[in-house]
A and B are shown apart, each in its own frame.
Chain A
Amino acid sequence: MKIITYGEIVEQVAKMCQEANFDLGQDVVEAFQTALKSENSEIGKDILEQLIQNADIAKSERVPMCQDTGVSVFIVEIGQECQVSGGSIYDAINEGVKKGYEEGYLRHSIVDHPITREKSKGYNTPSIIHIEMIPGDEMIIHMSAKGCGSENMSSLKMLKPSDGLQGIKKYILETVAKAGPNACPPLVVGVGIGGNFERCAYLAKKSLFRPIGHRSERPELAQLENELMEEINKLGIGPQGMGGNTTALDVKIEIEPCHIAALPVAINLNCHASRHKEVRL
């Protein structure tokens, strides 16, 4: 049995929160550079250049690339032969978030009560934590600083099986078109298909943790991801919704088995600040 201490998780999480907000992944920066070459609109090019410059400033000055430093979302894969000592993993993660956000001058953006809107007392906590058990003795913590502009334009729908692939594509294109400038394009479009009501939303979120440019291992999904990329980029929305052919940097699809009567589809949009970090313990 491998022992991972509470303190180690706190430290690693605190570090991840800051790195996610200061240092945009190389996959995203490269996607900006690729888009800059293919973007046809002048204003679109100008915006992409400013986003590259913004990422440079954030990294070199260690300041957040966006003022919405997000809700911290975690997917933690825990090996069955791995144990946390010194306290609960949920508390350790939240303590790490609090530390990372407070010490890194990141924004506290959580209200405790969704109706009264009372601000949470724990700095930017509680975070959203999903735990998955895996074989072995490793713990892999995946963290996302998920902005709310794009989260607000995300959508879930229980389609009919007869809607089929055409229905799924139509729904995805409609969601991206409706989101327009609000979701801060160029977007990463995460799609979950199957499972059930809550599961497809989780799949959509999980798909966003895959680096940009990584296609699904399933050939039929990889092809669908490519097709959707092309169709989304024909919508003309462009960077920041001001017109152009860079509306999406990537499309990610995850599927799971579902009921004979169901076709659940969830679309989780991510703004261009696709902030994801991973640590292995």
Chain B
Amino acid sequence: MSATKVTSPIEENILKNLEAGERVLISGTIYTARDAAHKRMSEALEKGEDLPFDIKGQTIYYVGPTPAKPGQIIGSAGPTTSGRMDKYTPSLLDRGLKGMIGKGYRSQEVIDSMKKNKAVYFAAIGGSGALITRSIKAMEVIAYEDLGPEAIYKLTVEDFPAVVIIDSNGADWYQLGKQQFNDQHTRQ
């Protein structure tokens, strides 16, 4: 299947043209964060502190990798369920977060905030961590090192495979894909 190549941080004019259901290959820089890191970032914001990295225009990948084996850059690193980050997401979008990679449904609050802030939500294939790792070329810990696999890492990726699930207009491929499939199926 054909895929659109994008570079993260994703430029606004490219981001706004990405459509739900479109396959992409992401290269560039992305940051990891999952439950514990989101909680800490949210607590930092509540206290009026800065986030551990400049989030403006950036992409966050919801992942907690396995430990790297000797000689590996990173262990298996597939996406975790995004919905657990929903509570913390709108405040990050308001501060300029533009891309998220995970898997699974997002809440209406997140979708509304994405439309308002013009952001995109991608899904990677859950349970394909051994394959995804091949597209990760460098890893560097940025913050919350004590959290181990839940720390924030800066990743350099090359042709990281994903699908646009919710685009900046709020179109949701989890609804559209199922609908499109069912429509075709009933017609046959």
A: residues with CB less than 8 A from B are 40-43, 46-47, 50-51, 53-54, 57-58, 61, 63-69, 105-109, 117, 119, 147, 149, 152, 180-182, 184, 234-238, 240-245, 271-273
CA–CA, A61 to B83, complex, Å?
31
B47 an interface residue at 8 Å Cβ cutoff? no
Contact check, A180 vs B125: say whether CB atoms are below 8 A apart.
no
Extra 17 A-B pairs, beta carbons < 8 Å, given A54-B127, A108-B149 = A40-B185, A43-B1, A51-B125, A57-B131, A65-B127, A65-B128, A65-B130, A66-B78, A66-B126, A66-B127, A66-B128, A67-B80, A107-B67, A181-B123, A182-B81, A236-B181, A242-B163
B window 123-181: CB within 8 A of A: 123, 125-131, 133-134, 148-149, 161, 163, 173-174, 177-181
Cβ contact within 8 Å between A184 and B174: no
Give 17 pairs: A residue, B residue, CB < 8 Å, sorted on A.
Answer: A40-B184, A41-B181, A46-B1, A57-B131, A63-B69, A66-B130, A67-B76, A68-B80, A69-B66, A106-B67, A149-B80, A149-B103, A180-B105, A184-B127, A236-B179, A237-B178, A241-B177
Contact of A43 among B64, B67, B128, B177 (CB under 8 A): B177
Interfacial chain A residues near B184, Cβ < 8 Å: 40
Contact B126 A271 (CB under 8 A): yes
How many residues of chain B have a CB within 8 Å of chain A?
Answer: 46
Q: Which 6 A-B pairs have the closest CB atoms?
A: A243-B177, A243-B181, A182-B104, A184-B126, A54-B131, A54-B128
B103 adjacent to A182 (CB under 8 Å): yes
